[in-house]
Structure 1
Amino acid sequence: MSTARVIVVMGVAGTGKTTVGQLLATALALPYAEGDAFHPAANVAKMASGVPLDDADRWPWLDAIGEWARCRGDRGGVVSASSLKRAYRDLLRAAAPGAVFVHLTGERPLIERRMAARTGHFMPTTLLDSQFAALEPLQEDEPGVAVDVSGSPEEITARALAALRPLAAPTRLES
């Protein structure tokens, strides 16, 4: 087992993957990668126009994230990626076998309010239903934790760090 892991912050749009991912990376002194930055322009345009991505759109995006995770090797890192389906997470774990997932969860009304309040993001609230429809929560045999998104980003991050402690290398998560 490596001394550090790649942590994938997952969940539907609007759960705070970017914010929590950045806070986790800072707390763990690991590099952070924004999952949206791996999308080709066509994916961003499709979502911005209100059309949900399908698997054919997502595979190249997931391959790019998987390559980033693979290159992090045993050095670890944090990346945000919706990872809504088990098959997507399986692909990321194949690329980075030690990867662990932080599934940000919350009630739809809260997430929709947060999505509506953010500015400058390409993902419209009209796609939230398609995100929930595609979501396959973490299974018991998948390395990861579910963390509720109620509260401040700092509170959510603290819950994530506490939940991750038993799953990750002690040298990286003890503080």
Structure 2
Amino acid sequence: MALSVENHGTPETPLTVVVMGVSGVGKTTVARLLADRLDLPYAEADDFHPPANIARMSAGIPLDDEDRAPWLRALGGWLRERTEAGTGGVVTCSALKHRYRDTLRAACPGAFFLHLSGGTELVEDRLAHRTGHFMPPSLLASQYAALEPLGADEHGAVLDVGPSPEELVELAVALLRPVNGDLA
């Protein structure tokens, strides 16, 4: 089920999408598929974390706003560069709080936030079966506690993660079409 939120983008602006949500909702999978589907550059937010952030999260210590600030600025820089280059792009980012999204919007005002949302049990189950990731399932509760849903003033939409990643991408493309009419 998709919940559409007010759109502010224009077809003249390269499409930039932030696939957001708590850990385990499938941001990376959906973002990669969406970038491939739309032939856009892709970036993984985890690659922008400094080693100290990775170490904190690996140790089960949630990041605070001070930890996140340079990471968010780096992600915003990537989005701005894609806009300036005219390519657009898709990036993953938890973007849990409105002010985090404000940081990204300051760098890339036209960014569309695709919030992948899922129930706690489903996401806990996904995290329990995930391997090779530094984010421990023990931090999920802190992410849900910090999560501020998209507001009516934010350019984006919410998708429930029940459907397959491929179905989510098709739903996302349908949502993005009014924002950028030349999507195939």
Q: TM-score, normalised by structure 1?
A: 0.95
Using CA pairs below 8 Å that are at least 6 residues apart, which structure has the higher relative contact order? Answer: 2
In structure 2, the partner of 1:143 is 155
State how far apart, in whole Å, the 2-side matches of 1:79 and 1:104 are: 13
Instruction: Report the equivalent of 2:174.
Output: 162
Q: Deviations over 1:63-98 (max 9, x none)?
A: 000000110114210000000000010110110111
1:14 to 17, 24, 38: 24
Q: Which residue of 1 aligns with 2:4?
A: none
1:3 Cα offset (Å): 4.0
Task: Choose from 101, 107, 112 the match for 2:124.
Answer: 112
> Structure 1 or 2: larger helix share?
1
Deviation at 1:160, TM superposition (A): 1.6
Give the secondary-structure state (helix, strand or coil) at the position aligned to 1:147.
Answer: strand
Structure 2 distance, partners of 1:11, 1:120, is 19
- Equivalence map 1:30-69=2 (5 Å): 30-69=40-79
1:136 and 1:165 mapped to 2: Cα distance?
A: 25
Look up the equivalent residue of 1:154 and give its one-letter code: E
2:80 maps to which residue? 70
Aligned counterpart, 2:133: 121
- The answer to whether the 8 A contact 2:17-2:113 is kept is yes
CA RMSD of aligned residues (A): 1.0
Structure 1: which 5+ residue stretches go unaligned?
none
Using the size of structure 2 for normalisation, the TM-score is: 0.91
2 CA distance for matches of 1:128 and 1:95?
A: 28
Count of matched residue pairs: 172
Provide the C-alpha distance between the structure 1 equivalents of 2:15 and 2:136, rounded to a whole number of angstroms: 32
| Aligned residues of 1:145 and 1:164 also touching (Cα < 8 A) | no
**Contact 1:21–1:78 (CA under 8 A) maintained in structure 2:** yes
